[in-house]
Amino acid sequence: MGIWADKEPKREELVMPPEASPLDFLRAVYQNPKLELAVRMRAAVEAAQYMHPTFKATAMVVANDSFAARLEAAIARSGASPKLIEAQSETVVEPAPLPPVGPSPTPMAAPFASFRRRG
């Protein structure tokens, strides 16, 4: 046995009938209060995806029809004419550019100033 024999966790066995499904096993795990909460939570998360429906969007696509034809048919069914933007463009007067501010730039051929550290 040893000195650490009393520290080992006791393992509970789940008795399941042979015809039980994996979902039944997961239910038995998360409904067993003798198991650790982390084990029960993991079993609940895994079982939830098989117990609750998921809602997904599906599209019906007809192979011989184009998107433009279906769009035109949908607009015709709605009975509404498409709204148009009836605005006229305005002429914008560009302001005069501002003169540059600051010192004049040095030519690219000018030597770079080198700074020396004084010790």
Taking only the tens place, the pLDDT of each residue in 70-97 is 888 888 888 877 778 888 888 888 999 9
The pLDDT value given to residue 29: 92
Encoding tokens for residue 58? 């599906």
Instruction: Please state the pTM of the whole predicted model.
Output: 0.39
Model confidence over 10-57: pLDDT tens digits? Answer: 666 778 888 999 999 999 999 999 899 999 999 999 999 888 888 888
Place of tokens 């002429």: 91
pLDDT at 45: 93
Q: End-to-end CA distance of the chain, in Å?
A: 74
Domain ranges of the chain: 19-57
Interval 45-66: pLDDT, tens: 999 988 888 888 887 766 677 8
